[in-house]
Amino acid sequence: MKAVILAAGKGVRMAPLTNEIPKPLVLVRGKPFIEHIIDALHEVVNEFIIVIGHKGEQIKNHLKKKYPHYSITYVEQEKPLGTADAFLKTKHLFSNNKERFFIIYGDAFTTQKEINLCLKHSHSWVCHSFNYSIPTGVVKIDKKGKIIKVAEKRGGSKPPFISAGSVMLVNDSIFKYKPWLHKKGEYYLTSMLGQFLKDNDVYSILGIPNVSLSTAEDIVKFNAL
């Protein structure tokens, strides 16, 4: 199985932690984000595809030393045009035969348990429940745990709010959907995921509640727990 890790972003909101290093190398509970991701996946994934951009050479050098025997393919996003644009750079590495694979953001904090729960379904996303408002994409879930809607901005006014997640188990038919251009001038992966779940049953795996690691302050608080 393959995994696509989106690790090209600048991590502006995580400054000053990202002043000298790329976001995937920020330390979370003793090791970088990207090590948490690879360690959680290594028993089920035999090919990692990592999209790099900002300070990408640091990521390559780090992983070459840490995981010298792992199969890792690097794809470069030369211009920061959003997560969907970064993801679409990997299309040529898939054969369009409904192959299942993981998509993971490079700043995801995930566990092997969450990955194993994802694999109990054909398609699934790790989501997180929040009892406070969050500035990220959210999903709507039915009584069976099926995700029926995803939006870039949260809807409603009462908690819980369910984040759209940063770990997704999909299949390569997702490449047929065209992303929408956001008003910020970027193409967001959320728009492709929203179209994918209309044609496929996608189930929510609830991860650690109230965990959003978007800023340096978030990281410091999480590391202190």
User: Model confidence over 152-177: pLDDT tens digits?
Assistant: 655 555 667 788 778 999 999 999 99
pLDDT at 158: 66
| Two structure tokens written together for 34 | 């990207």
Q: Is 48 helix (H, G, I), strand (E, B) or coil?
A: strand
Whole-structure pTM value? 0.93
Q: Among 4-18, 108-122, 210-224, where is mean pLDDT lowest?
A: 210-224
The number of beta carbons lying within 10 Å of the beta carbon of residue 209 is: 12
Within-domain flag for 224: no
- CB distance 222 to 28 below 8 Å: yes
Please check whether residue 225 lies inside any domain of the structure: no
Q: Give the total number of structural domains in the chain.
A: 1
**Percentage of the chain surpassing pLDDT 90?**
72
Residue 190 lies in a domain: yes
Range of the domain at 78: 2-218
User: Which residue(s) pair with 204 in the sheet?
Assistant: 125
Q: Is pLDDT at 32 greater than 90 in this prediction?
A: yes
Which residue carries 């996946």 as its tokens? 41
CATH number of the domain at 88, please. Answer: 3.90.550.10
Of 181, 39, 222, 200, nearest to 124 by C-alpha is 200
Q: Pairing mode, if any, of strands 2-7 and 100-105?
A: parallel
Instruction: Return the pLDDT at 14.
Output: 93
